[in-house]
Amino acid sequence: MEINEQTVRALVQRSHRGPKDLTLTTDHHRPTPGPDEYLVRVGVAGVNFADVMQSHGTYGGGPRAPYVAGFEAAGEIVGGGAGVDRPLPVGTHVVGAGRGAFAQYMTMPAAGVLPVPSGWSAAQALGLVLNWATALAALKPLGEIRTGEVVLVHAAAGGVGQAAVRLARHYGARVVATASPAKHDTVTALGADEVLDSRRADLAAEIMRLTGGVDLVLESVGRATFEVSLSVTKPFVGRVVVFGAASGDASLNTYDLVFTHQVQVMGLHIGALATAAPSVYASLLVELETLIADGVYPPGSPQVHPLADGPAVLRDLEAGLTRGKHALDPWR
């Protein structure tokens, strides 16, 4: 389907000096879908910590400034490029990822697009292919969660963290979570058995006192919690899945693994997983559909902000002042 080019509202990252250089423009050209891509009219765009990292130029493989920010969105297919396998019809409401989500229109690779679940709004579907898929991948194919195990979830009040707490409880694990004190009520309501202050000086000792050792850690904080994660994981049988570094990079060397922390450490990037192990990713999406049908995965309830508030939302996310999922509406 051919779409005439026109200008649209978008948030453009002008430099790699952080969200302060994310600016609203009204004259950005509407993108043209390439081969195997859909053109999507964005209903809402999801905000993720990766957006903060991209704004500083620290996200691996991320775009270089200037660029239209954002990569997660839900909206309506309005066109498509050549060669799309099993094409979805124009008008289908979808959720997916691609570059330039903080705009009224974006392109999405067709292979990563999913229809919005029946009866859900675009906002309610945000997180499906990123937050929930990441949490599920960390717990099951990588983390090999088992009933009765102890799972430690850092940053449990965030988008992936909340999904991880819900899922770990569903799979029969005991959940120990960390979050700032102001967010403890949110995490407790999700079913966490213990919620601890992520900044307490004796965090590792308290986790060991409560559990005697953790079977699986979901690590997304990085420098501030990585040593804690390693030290509380059960030797040899314990697993640490790393999918973020919100507080900065942490280091781990061969000496650590041989003599100090004999644990299994795995890295996770959901986009890389989808590319390198498509069958595993496909199985995640099938399981997510089952979780939705069974009511384990409820419709999301993100806080939706006008597009112009994007820089402030990213600053709050970077400062740890947010909880749950946040989103931008490019039409207001």
User: Rounded distance, CA 226 to CA 249, Å?
Assistant: 9
257-267 mean pLDDT:
97
Residue with tokens 């996310």: 317
Q: Reply yes or no on whether the pLDDT at 328 is more than 90.
A: yes
Quote the pLDDT of residue 65. Answer: 95
For the segment(s) 130-272, the CATH number from 3.30.70.3400, 1.10.730.10, 3.50.50.60, 3.90.180.10 is 3.90.180.10
For the sheet with 22-29, list strands across it.
22-29, 7-13, 67-68
pLDDT band at 191 (very low <50, low <70, confident <90, very high): very high
Quote the pLDDT of residue 4. Answer: 45
Same fold, 7-126+300-329 and 130-272: yes
Q: Which fold has domain 7-126+300-329?
A: Quinone Oxidoreductase; Chain A, domain 1 (3.90.180)
How do the domains of the chain map onto residue ranges?
7-126+300-329, 130-272
What's the pLDDT tens digit per position in 25-68? Answer: 999 999 999 999 999 999 999 999 999 999 999 998 899 999 99
218-240 mean pLDDT:
97
What's the pLDDT tens digit per position in 112-137? Answer: 899 999 999 999 999 999 999 999 99
pLDDT band at 5 (very low <50, low <70, confident <90, very high): low
* Of 5-14, 211-220, 238-247, 294-303, the least confident: 5-14
Nearest residue to 219 (alpha-carbon basis) of 236, 239, 204, 199: 239
Quote the pLDDT of residue 86. Answer: 73
Which residues does 190 contact at the CB level (< 8 Å), separation at least 6?
156, 162, 165, 166, 169
pLDDT band at 2 (very low <50, low <70, confident <90, very high): very low
What's the pLDDT tens digit per position in 298-315? Answer: 999 999 999 999 999 999
Contact 269, 160 (CB under 8 A): no
Q: Reply yes or no on whether the pLDDT at 19 is more than 70.
A: yes
Give me the amino acid identity at 92: T
Q: What is the pTM of this model?
A: 0.91
User: Rounded distance, CA 322 to CA 301, Å?
Assistant: 14
